[in-house]
Amino acid sequence: MWGRLIGGVMALGVVSLTLACFSERSATGPAAGSCDTSLDPGQFGSVIIAIQGFAFVPTPVHVPVGGKVSWVNCEPDGTPAHTTTADGGLWGSTPLEPGASFTVTFASAGTFSYHCEPHPSMTAQVIVDP
């Protein structure tokens, strides 16, 4: 599945990366710390949003039309799973356990609000620039 973390660093063909300081990917948010995960770099979006401390960091993010956004659950093991779910239904992830990721490609411009299904207080926005 695109953008999905493959559990286990030893999985074939998967490169282990350290995603440090998400603010380097976006000028709009605070540093989110680091998140050790393993993923396929070719599947990953140009904008990365950390799910951390029951929040989406940073928000909002900007991406051009055709751009990809990836969410990575950076919560500690044992934290309840989160989702990234568009308010308008454009996308919706399955529950993402700590370490899991999800990627969406945005085909049209607009401001897209989203939330976490189990935690409605978790809200954020993706702004797709024309």
For Cu ion, the binding residues (CB under 5 A) are 82, 116, 119, 122
Please report the sign of the dihedral spanned by the C-alpha atoms of residue 65, residue 56, residue 47, residue 26.
Answer: positive
Least Å distance between CB 14 and Cu ion? 25
Least Å distance between CB 76 and Cu ion? 14
Q: Which is nearer to Cu ion, 3 or 98 (CB)?
A: 98
Sequence-ordered list of residues with C-beta below 8 angstroms from that of 42, at least 6 positions apart, any chain: none
Q: Which is nearer to Cu ion, 25 or 82 (CB)?
A: 82
**Residue 14's closest CA among 50, 46, 49, 42?**
42
Least Å distance between CB 70 and Cu ion? 17
